[in-house]
């Protein structure tokens, strides 16, 4: 009932526009007067997830649910899936292509950063079907 829902489609193949969803979400979070630290962490998680969806999965969708006690960000794509999640979680590991690397992405920090800045993180992936990354950020009262 009390949840605020935000939905952002993320365009595939457009690294220039990537980051737009996290910017928009950030502005809404600021209007709610949430703690600066919470806003920053949510924004970083969203940004990294957005980049991942653009680089690896031809886009997807980010859904944000804001409750008084937490922010839940759910990023869903219909991309190739992650073959080895444990490996993908290692800092520095990346399967990003040449174009993404030339633009300064693909440092292998995406998922590790999401892990670092979130309170909970869950990856649900199926090869050939897609990936859903769910992130929880708690809002201290």
Partner 1 sequence: MAMRHSVMLDPKRCRGCTSCIKCCPTEAIRVRGRRATILPDRCIDCGNCIRVCPHKAIKSVGDSLDRLHGFEYCVALPEPALYGQFHNLDSVDVVLNALLKIGFHKVYEVARAAEILSDYERQSIRRGPPAVTPQLSSACPTVLRLIRMRFPKLMEHVTDTVLPMELAAILARREAEAETGLSPEKIGVFAIVPCSSKVTAARESEGLSRPVLDGAFAIRDIYLRLLGPMREVEDPAPLSSAGILGLGWAASGGECAARLGERCVAVDGIENVIRMLEEIEDGRLPEADFLELSACTQGCVGGCFNVENPYAAKLRIKGLMKGLPVSRNRFTLEGEGRALVRRDKPLQYLPTFVLDRDRQAAMDKQRRIQELEAHLPGLHCGSCGAPSCRAFAEDVVLGRASMDDCIFKVRERMRSMAGSKEEADDYLPPPFRRHQPEPTEK
Residues that bind partner 1 (CB under 8 A): 2, 4-6, 19, 22-23, 26-28, 30-34, 36, 39-40, 43-44, 47, 66, 68
Nearest to partner 1 of 19, 81 (CB atom): 19
* Beta carbons within 8 Å of 109's beta carbon, 6+ residues apart: 48, 91, 92
Between vectors from CA 129 to CA 128 and to CA 134, what angle results, nearest 5°?
125
Nearest to partner 1 of 61, 78 (CB atom): 61
Cα 74 from Cα 90, distance rounded (Å)? 21
The nearest distance, CB 129 to partner 1, in angstroms, is: 30
The nearest distance, CB 7 to partner 1, in angstroms, is: 10
Nearest to partner 1 of 23, 99 (CB atom): 23
The nearest distance, CB 25 to partner 1, in angstroms, is: 11
The nearest distance, CB 100 to partner 1, in angstroms, is: 15
Nearest to partner 1 of 82, 133 (CB atom): 133
Between vectors from CA 122 to CA 82 and to CA 80, what angle results, nearest 5°?
20
Give the residues across from 59 on adjacent strands: 11
Q: Assess contact for 46 and 104: CB atoms under 8 A.
A: no
């Amino acid at each position: 009932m009390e949840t605020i829902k935000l939905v952002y489609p993320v365009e595939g193949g457009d690294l220039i526009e990537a980051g737009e969803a996290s910017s928009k979400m950030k502005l809404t979070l600021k209007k709610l007067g949430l703690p600066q630290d919470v806003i920053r962490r949510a924004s970083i998680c969203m940004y990294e997830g957005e980049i991942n969806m653009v680089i690896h999965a031809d886009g997807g969708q980010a859904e944000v649910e804001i409750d008084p006690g937490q922010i839940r960000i759910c990023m869903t794509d219909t991309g190739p899936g992650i073959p080895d999640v444990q490996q993908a979680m290692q800092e520095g590991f990346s399967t990003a292509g040449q174009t993404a690397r030339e633009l300064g992405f693909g440092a292998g920090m995406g998922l590790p950063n999401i892990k670092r800045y979130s309170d909970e993180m869950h990856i649900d992936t199926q090869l050939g079907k897609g990936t859903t990354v769910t992130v929880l950020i708690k809002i201290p009262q």
